[in-house]
Amino acid sequence: MAKKILCFIVYFISLSISAYCQKNEHLALTPPMGWNSWNTFSSEINEQLIKDMADKLVASGMKNAGYEYIVIDDCWLSHERDSIGNLQADPIKFPYGMKAVGDYIHSKGLKFGMYNCAGTMTCAGYPGTYGHEYQDALSYAKWGVDYLKYDWCYTDGINAKEAYTTMSKALTATGRPIVFSICEWGTSMPWKWAAPVGHLWRTTGDISCSWVEKKMSENWIPLGITKIIDIEANLREYAGPGHWNDPDMLEVGNGLSYNEDKAHFTMWAMLAAPLIAGNDLRKMSKQTLDILTNSNVIAIDQDSLGIQALRYMVKDSVEIWVKPLVGGNWAFCFFNRSEKKQKINFDFASHIINDTLSHRILNTNILKYKIYDLWERKKMGYTNKMLKYDIPSHNVLLLRLSPNKFTE
């Protein structure tokens, strides 16, 4: 009898917890990494393309470097739900349905991501989820989906916090762990309310493959890399393990210069941003692959403390960003946004950096640090000497400072 009562109490407690919990708390403890179809392929997607990308993610070494999600963005759907209101895949693009795609992705040791929208339609005009949240969540669970990007088009009159909370609960109710990627573009400041709801939230409108903003049409000016960085600079207190600011997917390999690609990737790592590649993996150059798989830089992004970098100072268009890391280490980044080469003469001893958010102080007068250049993969001495360096335009010098345990 006592055993039965105990079972009942445990059952009751777990039911109440699942009713109360909005999101699965054990996911995305470091920023998610993967590939998404939108930036390069937009509506031009199909089963073979997605399979090719999964194959390439593995064969190129990106999977080994940490990329795990293959995310199918907008335009995978048929224009109509089926007779009982279920979402269905476009029969031409995905003739065997989405479970078959998910099975293939899983067979490669990868995880399966999909897309829909909180409104009545997706941004490209396919059926949205509004009013079908629990039904669609069940379809995703049935198809083996591990990650859902949930957009914000066609949402007139809908409250963002309520809409995303409903979907979050619907995903949790399926019992399948699904990372919930909120794509609301920052309009209702999701960083202020979304930590219990999703695992990452877009902080801005869409990225473009451009250093600065570029007008694409009368009504559409997607953001450049530098503008997004400025927006993110003010949001660091909201990011952390399981709840990340998302400055949008990567444009590395899509047409920026080599230096710009490096700077873009570095800054996303400093921002503890999700690293979701958006290039054509079948055609990427060795340079692009080297950037995307630089293990030193990825380690900065994936650091388990999950602290987003602080923009410490700006001088002559060179910004200094610092990111506290595990083990008393720091990532230290000089970011040259200007059109010309800039000279750095930096005396660590005269900068005591007090990060009140992480309660960490970098004071090289008390503790000497070893300096390591993470792109050149070379030692650069110690913090007791003046750092002198020329940074080319639109480029970075990314350093890791490690406490020097031994006195010489």
Query: How far apart, in whole angstroms, are the C-alpha atoms of residue 176 and residue 380?
Result: 47
Do 163 and 155 form a contact (C-beta atoms < 8 A)?
yes
Shortest separation between residue 275's beta carbon and ligand GLA, angstroms: 15
Shortest separation between residue 151's beta carbon and ligand GLA, angstroms: 5
Beta strands at 275-277 and 244-246: parallel, antiparallel or unpaired: unpaired
| H helix intervals, 210-348 | 225-233, 258-270, 286-292, 295-301
Among 179, 183, 272, 331, binds ligand GLA (CB under 6 A): 183
Count the alpha carbons within 13 Å of 154 in the hemisphere toward its beta carbon. 17
Tell me, rounded to whole angstroms, the distance of Cα 85 from its chain centroid: 32
Size, binding site for ligand GLA by CB under 6 A: 9
Nearer of residues 73 and 319 to ligand GLA, judged by Cβ: 73
Nearer of residues 45 and 397 to ligand GLA, judged by Cβ: 45
73 lines the binding site for ligand GLA (CB under 6 A)? yes
Q: Which residue is nearest to ligand GLA (CB)?
A: 123
Site for ligand GLA in 124-143 (CB under 6 A): 124
Radius of gyration (C-alpha) of the chain in whole angstroms: 23
Among the residue ranges 116-124, 335-343, 359-367, 368-376, the one whose residues contact ligand GLA (CB under 6 A) = 116-124
Shortest separation between residue 169's beta carbon and ligand GLA, angstroms: 23
Among the residue ranges 121-129, 270-278, 328-336, 386-394, the one whose residues contact ligand GLA (CB under 6 A) = 121-129
| Residue 175: burial class (beta carbons within 10 Å; 0-12, 13-18, 19+) | exposed
151 lines the binding site for ligand GLA (CB under 6 A)? yes
Tell me, rounded to whole angstroms, the distance of Cα 257 from its chain centroid: 22
38 lines the binding site for ligand GLA (CB under 6 A)? yes
223 lines the binding site for ligand GLA (CB under 6 A)? no
- Kindly give, in sequence order, each residue whose CB lies less than 8 Å from that of residue 129, ignoring residues fewer than 6 positions away: 116, 117, 118, 136, 150, 167
Query: How far apart, in whole angstroms, are the C-alpha atoms of residue 370 and residue 373?
Result: 10
184 lines the binding site for ligand GLA (CB under 6 A)? no
123 lines the binding site for ligand GLA (CB under 6 A)? yes
Sheet strand arrangement including 69-71: 244-246, 200-202, 179-182, 147-151, 111-117, 69-71, 33-36, 275-277
Tell me, rounded to whole angstroms, the distance of Cα 306 from its chain centroid: 12
Cα-based distances in Å from 6 to 2, 3, 12, 198: 6, 5, 10, 33
Residues designated catalytic: 151, 206
Among 47, 68, 74, 251, binds ligand GLA (CB under 6 A): 74
Do 266 and 333 form a contact (C-beta atoms < 8 A)?
yes
Among the residue ranges 50-58, 61-69, 122-130, 326-334, the one whose residues contact ligand GLA (CB under 6 A) = 122-130
Nearer of residues 74 and 355 to ligand GLA, judged by Cβ: 74
Among the residue ranges 12-20, 61-69, 118-126, 314-322, the one whose residues contact ligand GLA (CB under 6 A) = 118-126
Shortest separation between residue 12's beta carbon and ligand GLA, angstroms: 41
Shortest separation between residue 193's beta carbon and ligand GLA, angstroms: 19
69 lines the binding site for ligand GLA (CB under 6 A)? no
Nearer of residues 206 and 251 to ligand GLA, judged by Cβ: 206
Do 145 and 170 form a contact (C-beta atoms < 8 A)?
no
Among the residue ranges 12-20, 120-128, 172-180, 238-246, the one whose residues contact ligand GLA (CB under 6 A) = 120-128
Amino acid at 94: F
Among 68, 136, 146, 206, binds ligand GLA (CB under 6 A): 206
Beta strands at 395-403 and 369-373: parallel, antiparallel or unpaired: antiparallel
Shortest separation between residue 299's beta carbon and ligand GLA, angstroms: 27
| Residue 45: burial class (beta carbons within 10 Å; 0-12, 13-18, 19+) | buried
Shortest separation between residue 110's beta carbon and ligand GLA, angstroms: 20
Binding site residues, ligand GLA, CB under 6 A:
38, 73-74, 122-124, 151, 183, 206
